[in-house]
Amino acid sequence: MEKFEYIPKGVCSKKMIFEIEYNCIKSVKIIGGCPGNTLGVSILVKDKDIDEVIDKLKDIKCGLKPTSCPAELAKALIKYKEETNCNL
């Protein structure tokens, strides 16, 4: 299982920590942000395929912001794939 950390930009959350195993998200911890929303996102993406999560979350906006915590999680997963050459 691989652990990865990401610092989101343009949102209230300060850090995202997740674990991946065989292109599957095993856990996500989002530090900062709206506690209920970030916990909800963390639970909903558990045991999901990385590409499925990226596709569903990448275009979500938070109010007038150009991004959101879910969209930043998608960016974090994209970065993880790029850095690990994970193209499963």
Which pLDDT does position 84 carry in this prediction?
87
SS (H, E, C) the chain: CEEEEECCCCCCEEEEEEEEECCEEEEEEEEECCHHHHHHHHHHHCCCEHHHHHHHHCCCCCCCCCCCHHHHHHHHHHHHHHHHCCCC
Its pTM stands at: 0.92
Crossing angle for the helix pair 35-45 and 50-57, nearest 10 degrees? 140
What are the tens digits of pLDDT across the range 17-71? 999 999 999 999 999 999 999 999 999 999 999 999 999 999 999 999 999 999 9
Domain map of the chain by residue range?
2-84
pLDDT category at 85 given cuts 50, 70, 90 is confident
Which CATH fold topology does 2-84 show? Answer: Enolase-like; domain 1 (3.30.390)
Contacts of 52 (CB under 8 A, 6+ apart): none
Torsion sign, CA atoms 45, 13, 34, 66: negative
